[in-house]
Structure 1
Amino acid sequence: GMFLEGDRWRYQLREGATVWDYVKHPLLSLMYYLYKLSVAFSWKFVFILCTAYGINQGMGEEWSGFAAKFYMADHLHLSPARAAAARGLSLVPWQLKAIYGMISDVVPIMGYHKTGYMLIAGSCGVLAFFILFALDLSFVPGILVFIVAHFSMASPDVMIDAAVAEKAKSHPQFAPDLQSLCWGSLGLGGFFAAATVGYMQESIGSRGIFGVCILTGVAILVPAALGFLREKRRDPSTIKPICLSCKQGLSDPLGKWVFYVAIIVTFVSVFLGFFAVFNESEHSVIINGSVTVFCAICIIFPSLLYCLSRISLVLAKASSFIFLRGAIQPSTTVLFYWYRKTRSNCERGYPCLDPGFLGWMDVAGYAFLFVGTIIYQKYFASWSYRSIFIFAQVLLVFVNLMDLIWVTRLNVKIGISDKVFLLGEEVLGPIVRRLSEMPMLILAAKLCPSGVEATLFALNMGLSNFGVSIGDYLGQALLGILGGVNPPDFNNLAVFILLKSLTRLLPILLVYPLVPKGSPLDDAFDIARRFAGEDEGSEVRARGESAIPLTDLKLSSSDNIHMHEDHERDELVNRDDVGGVAVVGDDDELGGL
């Protein structure tokens, strides 16, 4: 039964429990778990948290991301390179999460810092998915609507994370439970969507799935309109003018540097997205690739080092690694064009996989992401950051080289069917990704100084997402340089896979210059001291950078940490998705992951 242990409610089986007690135990445990959170925060807050993470993000990302690939191929008739550029532009909202938080802090809507923005996001989601469902859009309008759709899923994540952080501060004993609810809702929503999306694609098509996605916007619009977030409305007389609030924010010795980086990332990501899509000059491939490299190496990287080193040099280098790690690994959805079921692919002896099977591939991915988390916690949590990243990158090379076996049809020659071979790769890919993503999340959180935890953590996750988009743009350029990697012949596809696989070794060159020596078990001071010597460690301690409690590390439904899975199993899963850092209790209290 349920009993009070200290200040926390717990539920456990009574002595002499029967078989029936064990059968109903999981359901009753969940009921008691939700009950105690509802008593502490109200059922309305628990409800909107579940709908925001489980329906809006978990289901919304999986359904819309899966349908978008078919929509771009079948309705917009985009080539793999063109689709990579379009996808990079549509994912820009996930790179601006720090900006959402800053704007909501400075500009309340009708006296609310979060609820008003949730209403805007929900309305945008309903409108965007209705347009995708009802109208036969051309290329440019379609991409613009996709941007709005992703905004409707990216911005509520920031608002809910901030609300969870506030609740964790006022009720620190419930901080792990709140985070478990976030993770659980996100995972269950994504798992359910993955199990159904393949059959939905076969029965109602991509536009039909967009119609179902309207519900993901309603899932946050209605609860927010009914006040489920339980946000107190500010007295209009206490609201400062926007200019004064911005001036005060820029006077913060730490926050202003985070703001500068967020602004730079915003402008560069928007520019690159539109430039990659709308530059159709004669040498657009070379120009796009050159501009992308210039922006990444000559603008973003120096900006990170200059601005964030004003907070901490170890933070600046680690944030640079988080960005560059994805930026120097080209990725595209060209394999999706090659293995999906079309008449041309089937006639040429390509895998010809139907949408139903592709959906179950995502289900397997979710299951083995969980396995990867367990393996990380059990075997790799004590490894150093450098060892984990190097080991993971080497494994990624071999996982990507499995695609080379696939596209050369060697697996068929030795008697292994495409579906069996692909499921084998689906087992390895998510596990390897999780081995590198978990320490990256922990490193990003631990290096966030007190006072700007949530904003800086959101910035780091936005940088990770931006790095993946840069990789998409570079993948587009690589496809163009090779030429012929297009349906129906897919010439040079094996060469592209080989080059793409070898680029997974490049982040290893960045590990020793940018990644600290510590391990996920070390606190921020030890990491800084080991990486930069006693002077840097003293500087960090003087600024109050102790071990930051980690209570709001969250991955997006597609992994995605808010990664957007493209079945190549080689991307960082980061869109999504990811939250901020909540400081729970005293500075020396360590929250649970």
Structure 2
Amino acid sequence: MEEENQEDPCSESMEEDESKRGVWDCFCIPINWFSMLSREMHWSFVFGVVVVYGISQGLGGALAEVGTKYYMKDVQKVQPSEAQIYKGITSIPWIVKPLWGLLTDVLPFFGYRRRPYFIFAGFIGVIAMLLLSLHENLHLVLALLALTAGSAGGAIADVTIDACVAQNSISQPSLAADMQSLCAFSLSVGSLIGYFISGIFVHFLGPMGVFGLMTIPAGLVISVGFLLYEPRMHNTSYTQVKQNFIDAGKAMWTTLRSEDVWGPCLYMYLSLALSLDIREGMFYWYTDSKGGPSFSQESVGFIFSISSVGALLGAILYQYALKDYAFRNLLFWTQLIYGLSGMLDLILVSRLNLKFGIPDYFFVVIVESIAKMTNRLKWMPMLVLSSKLCPSGIEGTFFALLMSIDNVGLLSASWGGGFVLHMLRITRTKFDNIWLAILIRNILRIAPLWLLFLVPRADRSSSILPCKSMNSEVAIDPSDTKNVELVSLVHSVDGK
């Protein structure tokens, strides 16, 4: 008995050390992961992703989203269906991403292909946000133009980082899912912080004050243009730009004609277009003092902040549990869960949650968290699949083309949702038929399950493109191809 008593303190101390070591290991996992990505793909790539996805699109996007909702509702005083249409208009710059991608691939300025576009994108964002924040009685048309210009700045910065992700996914296919996880992780953390502070800033500064704060993320995008490493090209021939555009267009058309490419593209568009976006109508209902829960500005920000944890959990779940599954199997379950989870909104608008003793605030957090998690789980395999469809040589342009197809789907969903809200006569103060809009949306969310035959059964480690599409004939000045980090993405990977 004495020996057992003497051994107990030692065993307890060993268990404590192991538990401390376990906590420390969990803390070190993301740090080691970031270090690995920085080693494999250079720290400048990781830096660019964090700034563009985490700060500009994540934090800045969250501030802009909440600020724009209240700007349209309280300053411009538009109807929910109109706000849904205007939201689609401001997203148009994301639809023409192939143009930005093509410009960054074939049209350098002052010997650089990346830096000028980051700087240009940042300046557009700064000017647009200053106009919105300083002009008190800005006409609706001018406000839409400013919001669209700010969206264009974000799209131009985004397409450059997307090009880097696409090229690195081809050169290092084993890290393709890790790169998408890095993008998703940065976006989720930035969104979490942005939504958390958005309601507070809207309350104390107003929507226009929030637009003023948006100049900070845009300014950081400018800093990316100055800080990112990019070898300067010498003897740039602008006479070849026209031919480069033609060659890139031919390469994209040849790739799109392949059944292995147009099938997944069609599925991605339809799966997004059929998921009608009625979030503006739900936002107006959230803040309504009669029929809705009448959430305050701070409450709306906190709800979006807490629910963005769901998107972060979705990214983590995909990275550590689901990334090795075949695309078709994963998309089946995520699309099904995405459609069924939307039924929770019916419980909310019918106020059944109150009959079960569940407060509106708590139930909305659950609904929004599940929606964002399932949406992220549905979105990430499509991003990895998109990176697999890019032919070498025009990675930036073609990945931008695929993303623009997705954005056309989102635009279709936004305008389709606005049409449904208008037809059901859902206004700023009338929400009698909002349950029907939710039901229509949920039924259409499940419809893409019958289109999964368009998606290949391949997984993230498989090669999807036909051999003849793997290498593009587009090649511009291949002399500076030793570094693949943020150099021109029109260079062939084989020419490193």
- TM-score in same-fold range (> 0.5): yes
Contact 2:97 2:155 in 1 (8 A): yes
Deviation at 1:462, TM superposition (A): 1.8
| CA–CA separation in structure 2 for the residues paired with 1:455 and 1:119 | 19
Of 341, 350, 372 in structure 2, the residue corresponding to residue 399 of structure 1 is 341
1:14-64 deviations in whole A, cap 9, x for unaligned? Answer: xx9899998888888888887898899987776555433332222211111
Residue 428 of structure 2 aligns with which residue? 487
State the 1:132 CA deviation. 0.8
CA contact (8 A) 1:392 1:432 kept: yes
Does 1:118 pair with 2:130? no
Offset of residue 353 of structure 1: 1.3
Q: Secondary structure at the match of 1:524?
A: coil
- Higher alpha-carbon deviation: 111-120 or 75-84: 111-120
Contact 2:122 2:219 in 1 (8 A): yes
Report the Cα distance in structure 2 between the residues aligned to 1:124 and 1:196, rounded to whole angstroms.
24
| Contact 1:54 1:190 (8 Å CA) reproduced | yes
2-side partners of 1:257 and 1:519: how far apart? 21
Deviations along 1:474-494, whole A, 9 cap, x unmatched?
1121222222x1121223222
Q: Report the equivalent of 2:477.
A: none
Instruction: Return the alpha-carbon distance in structure 2 between the equivalents of residues 36 and 503 of structure 1.
Output: 41
CA contact (8 A) 2:91 2:148 kept: yes
* CA–CA separation in structure 1 for the residues paired with 2:490 and 2:108: 21
Q: Which runs of structure 2 are paired with 1:231-250 in the superposition (5 Å)? A: 231-250=230-249
Question: How does 1:11-160 map onto structure 2 within 5 Å?
Answer: 49-136=49-136, 137-160=138-161
Q: Distance in 1 between matches of 2:28 and 2:447?
A: 50
Quote the offset at 1:331 in angstroms.
1.6
Alignment of 1:139-538 (within 5 A): 139-162=140-163, 182-224=183-225, 227-250=226-249, 252=250, 254-257=251-254, 308-309=256-257, 312-332=258-278, 333-340=280-287, 345-346=288-289, 348-376=290-318, 380-381=322-323, 384-483=326-425, 485-512=426-453, 514-516=454-456, 518-520=457-459, 523-524=462-463
Whole-Å Cα distance in 2 between the matches of residues 46 and 376 of structure 1?
20
Cα distance per residue 1:436-464 (max 9 Å; x no partner): 22222232233334444443222222211
CA distance in 1 between partners of 2:395 and 2:347 (Å): 44
d(CA) in 2 for partners of 1:500, 1:80: 16
Provide the rounded CA distance (Å) in 1 between the counterparts of 2:337 and 2:267. 19
User: Which structure has the highest helix share of the two?
Assistant: 2
Instruction: Give the C-alpha shift of residue 236 in structure 1.
Output: 4.3
Aligned residues: percent identity? 28
Cα deviation digits, residues 187-211 of structure 1 (max 9, x gap): 3322221221121111111111111
CA contact (8 A) 1:165 1:583 kept: no
The 1:466/1:401 distance shift into structure 2, 3 A limit, reads same
C-alpha contact (below 8 Å) 2:63/2:214 kept by paired residues: yes
TM-fit CA distance, 1:150: 0.8
C-alpha separation in 2, matches of 1:426 and 1:402:
10
Letter in 1 for 2:463: A
Contact 1:60–1:153 under 8 Å retained in 2: no
- Name 1:555's counterpart in structure 2: none
Report how far residue 399 of structure 1 moved. Answer: 1.8
Deviations 1:247-300 (A, max 9, x none): 4434x5x23456xxxxxxxxxxxxxxxxxxxxxxxxxxxxxxxxxxxxxxxxxx
Contact 2:112–2:231 (CA under 8 A) maintained in structure 1: yes
- CA deviations on 1:397-428 (whole Å, 9 max, x unpaired) are 32222111111212222322111211221332
Whichever residue aligns with residue 498 of structure 1, its letter is L
Q: Is the 8 A contact 2:339 2:446 kept in 1?
A: yes
Distance 1:31 1:361, change over 3 A: same
Q: Separation in 1 of the partners of 2:217 and 2:31?
A: 24
Q: Distance in 1 between matches of 2:90 and 2:270?
A: 20
Is the 8 Å Cα contact of residues 51 and 220 (structure 1) preserved in structure 2?
yes
Q: Which amino acid aligns with 2:243?
A: L
Q: C-alpha displacement at 1:470, in angstroms?
A: 0.4
**Could you tell me how far 1:84 is from its partner in structure 2?**
0.8
Q: Supply the distance in 2 between the matched residues of 1:498 and 1:168 (Cα, whole angstroms).
A: 39
Using the alignment, how far apart are the partners of 1:49 and 1:329 within structure 2?
28
What's 1:295 paired with? Answer: none
Amino acid at match of 1:515: V
Q: 1:511 to 1:35 in 2, by over 3 A?
A: closer
Q: Count residues with an aligned counterpart.
A: 462
- Give, in whole Å, the separation in 1 of the partners of 2:194 and 2:306: 12
Which residues in structure 2 correspond to 1:541-556 (within 5 Å)? 541-544=467-470
Would you say the 8 A contact 2:392–2:492 is kept in 1? no
Mark the CA change 1:38 to 1:419 in structure 2 (over 3 Å): closer, same or farther.
closer
Distance in 2, Cα, partners of 1:42 & 1:524: 24
Change (3 A) 1:71 1:40: same
Matched letter for residue 334 of structure 1: G
CA distance in 2 between counterparts of 1:220 and 1:156 reads 7
Task: Give the aligned CA root-mean-square deviation in angstroms.
Answer: 3.7
For 1:191, the aligned partner's letter is: L
Mapped partners of 1:474, 1:32: distance in 2: 44
One-letter identity of the residue aligned with 1:90: T
Q: Distance in 2 between matches of 1:125 and 1:27?
A: 35
Unaligned stretches of 5+ residues in structure 1: 1-15, 259-307, 529-539, 546-579, 588-593
Distance 1:327 1:583, change over 3 A: farther
Counterpart residue identity of residue 262, structure 2? A
The one-letter amino acid of 1:482's match is: L
Q: CA deviation at 1:126?
A: 0.6
Return closer, same or farther for 1:205/1:406 CA change in 2, 3 Å cut-off.
same
Q: Which runs of 5+ in 2 are unaligned?
A: 1-15, 472-487
CA contact (8 A) 1:407 1:494 kept: yes
Letter in 2 for 1:475: G
Relative contact order, higher structure (CA 8 A, sep 6+): 2
Contact residue 307 and residue 366 of structure 2 kept, 8 A: no
Which residue identity does 1:501 align to in structure 2?
N
Amino acid at match of 1:153: G
The separation in 1 between residues aligned to 2:168 and 2:339, in whole angstroms, is 42
Distance 1:520 1:237 in 2: 40
